[in-house]
Structure 1
């Protein structure tokens, strides 16, 4: 599922006061009953569906460790602990703030850093439903690029394991990478139905109204195998997704000269192509070292217009260069190998009654980039870079990323600031 909760209020969370953990139950204690403490805004069924320890079974510390990862993955709690009073297993929770009226931010390869205002509720009706409205604008030049957005998502629908994400986005900006004035409206719905514990069916339905181009519908279906210990800050496991999407309904105005660029012009016609997406990720942890390897490949046979060409360069794609209109392509492959050192693991904290958590990680890695237009890619389509940086793990936005990349072909370091995991932002970085 996409993640769009960009509130920069979390930048203030560099310091705080840690909560003391409650001692866990002894291994093998037979559970006679289960109760919860601290669920002031969250309904019990939201946590019950994540539990692995059950009544009339012996308590397992290993299961509790997995439960804790799953409950942290909800992004609703700063800390989760357990204790036993006889056979009664008590889970104790400290909830994260719900309402976030705060500055908002977004980083894209095309627009760079955008800031604005946002109002978000991370737990609507106590059902783990996230809702947010935002206004964002570019900083250089100020107010030259503007976005208005509404995001709503949840991992369940009416008690069913049907994750859903709804997005409404209005864009009014000049696209310097593709060289045209973008005025567009995007409506998107993504569904993720878990048919087995580690297997989901995926659907996407999107409508894009791009000024000076035809209406661009998208319809896609796929599947995902997910064996990760957590979707947020993954430490161990693998993920594989395959998605087939059709975009457009025919090119009905490609011959018209609708966008002037100097002495030439570009046709803003409709599109008609398939996208075959493969997203593979693998993670392994030894002590405080987390190794991750990821690959994102998107192949697009058919009629793809210039405004949807991929670009590589920036914190969300390839950290060896800044985004520009020189390197564009119909198809793409993004490869990454990253090593993380957990300098400070997740810490619960509170300031003025606002509960949150934070963690700190050092990162270093390698980016590989392939962009091509037809046939099979060659070495002329490839670029590589190394990078390093610091990640601050925080609520709502997953992480804040400060990174420096270096490509031998470019010969000088590139500096980046990003929000959310790159494996997520790479999927929707152009919007």
Structure 2
């Protein structure tokens, strides 16, 4: 099942040599990880010094959680909820670890709070107790979002439009959104229409589901074809154990001048993260095996006849690994996404590396396309301002601020074993604004010796999520 915020944001020639006089291109690639470890260590010391001097008042209270108003060891006689105006009690209860009849644990509440914030339904969660009566107080986030809709893709760049979303239908943590977007590069020519719905539960079952129905009508400058397609997608995530899930996906895609392209996939995931959104600690691993295509029902619709783009028939083997660890305000993350696709893959489904959602050392173009891919990332975040609740004119929301620096590795190839000629590396830095619904707004600058100049990027949602479905 696709990772992310559950708010829908839709699915080679070689470069010039390194310009550094004393480093060859191959040496940079081989040394990039070692260099960046040194850079991270240096940044930690610099940022820590700045944090102590410029934010000493915040650092002084970094270990105090004012949302806990109950001493450890207090025996819980009853549990009450306050502030659940639009959310049913059972949505909250399935995330709680403190139970009636047991002693209260502040450590458990810390985990509860992360899990409840992960629902993206509350701006703040606090707890207090009067004797043995434990009371959870919630501040609900705004439910309806009639607002501008936007996203960034490597193909269309910045897309803008309108959307209407409900984040908590029937109080069951079901969210749905309808939207229209057009590219700012080809205004009103490259368009997308979409409907999304998702929930981590199906009634009382721990069966997460994500449904997408979308229509795309735009010209793909990178792969050089007109994408006139319809997509119907259902992803399922059945959590049969606290940290283990069985995954399934069923997709139907109708692409003009090509065959009808069905997809069927199954897999599993191990999830030991403290939270899916803004993860601070834990590991995640996913394996998916998906079959795409295999039909000969060509769909050709153009004036005067046209040449078919052909049918596909291939398997996709996906490995997605992530690890996070936090020390004080520093969050270190390492991720690897590998997708290997044996079989007949057509040009319109080639992976592209270059852009805010894949590789931040270059902009997306037709020079870096391939059948198989590996995206590697090492990132350091400094929590400049942790998540803060706020309210304007009765609209509840939250915000946070993070400084980031990292290393991107890009490996893309068509057949056989990949070599160093298929690999590029880049360093990047920037600032992230943590907000509701889309997780974060990312303002980043990347640099690669293969390109020799900085690249500027704006993105939304965690890159580790957008890299999974960046093609649309």
- Smaller-chain TM-score range? over 0.9
Instruction: Identify if the C-alpha distance between structure 1 residues 117 and 252 changes in structure 2 by more than 3 Å, giving closer, same or farther.
Output: closer
Residues 176 and 198 in structure 2, CA contact (< 8 A), matched pair in contact too: yes
In the other structure, the counterpart of 2:377 is 336
Q: Does 1:52 align with 2:102?
A: no
Q: Structure 2, unaligned stretches of length 5 or more?
A: 10-64
Question: Retained in 1: the 8 A contact 2:324–2:334?
Answer: yes
Tell me which of 117, 122, 139 is aligned to 1:72: 117
Residues 1:411 and 2:432 are matched in the alignment: no
SS at match of 2:468: helix
Q: In the alignment, which residue of structure 1 is the partner of 2:207?
A: 162
Q: Which has the higher helix share?
A: 2
Does the alignment pair 1:314 with 2:316? no
Q: State the alpha-carbon separation in 2 of the partners of residues 88 and 127 from structure 1.
A: 26
- 1:367 matched to 2:408? The reply is yes
**SS of residue paired to 1:214:** strand
Give the equivalent residue in structure 2 for 1:275. 316
Contact conserved, 1:341 with 1:362, CA < 8 A, in 2?
A: yes
Equivalent position of 2:168 in the other structure:
123
Deviation at 1:141, TM superposition (A): 2.5
- The aligned runs of 1:299-310 (5 Å cut-off) are 299-310=340-351
Question: Which residue, 71, 92, 114 being the options, matches 2:159?
Answer: 114
Could you tell me how far 1:109 is from its partner in structure 2?
1.1
Q: Distance in 1 between matches of 2:264 and 2:307?
A: 26
Instruction: Specify which of 123, 137, 153 is matched with residue 198 of structure 2.
Output: 153
- Determine whether 1:422 maps to 2:422: no
Q: Distance in 2 between matches of 1:415 and 1:33?
A: 53
Change (3 A) 1:83 1:259: farther
How far, CA to CA, are the matches of 2:228 and 2:208 in structure 1? 30
Q: Please report the TM-score for the alignment, with normalisation by the length of structure 1.
A: 0.93
1:174-253 map, 5 Å: 174-250=219-295
Task: Give the alignment's Cα RMSD to 1 decimal.
Answer: 1.9
- The DSSP-based 3-state class of the residue aligned with 2:317 is strand
Distance in structure 2 (CA, Å) of the matches to 1:367 and 1:119: 34
**Paired residues, what number?**
414
* Structure 2 contact 274–282 (Cα < 8 Å) conserved: yes
Do the aligned partners of 1:259 and 1:267 also contact (CA within 8 Å) in 2? Answer: no
Q: Which runs of 4+ in 1 moved over 6 A?
A: none
Q: TM-score, normalised by structure 2?
A: 0.85
Return the alpha-carbon distance in structure 2 between the equivalents of residues 120 and 277 of structure 1.
31
* Map of 2:22 onto structure 1: none
How far apart are 1:372 and its partner, in Å?
Answer: 0.4
Q: 3-state SS of the aligned residue for 1:412?
A: coil
Deviations 1:166-188 (A, max 9, x none): 00010000000000011000000
TM-superposition CA deviations, 1:85-122 (whole Å, max 9, x none)? 11000000000000000000011111111000000000
What secondary structure does 2:465 align onto? helix
Residue 251 of structure 1: how far off its partner (Å): 5.5
In the superposition, relative to structure 1, how do residues 223 and 381 fare at CA in structure 2: closer, same or farther (>3 Å)? same
Q: Could you say what secondary structure the match of 1:157 adopts?
A: coil
Residue number in structure 1 paired with 2:30: none
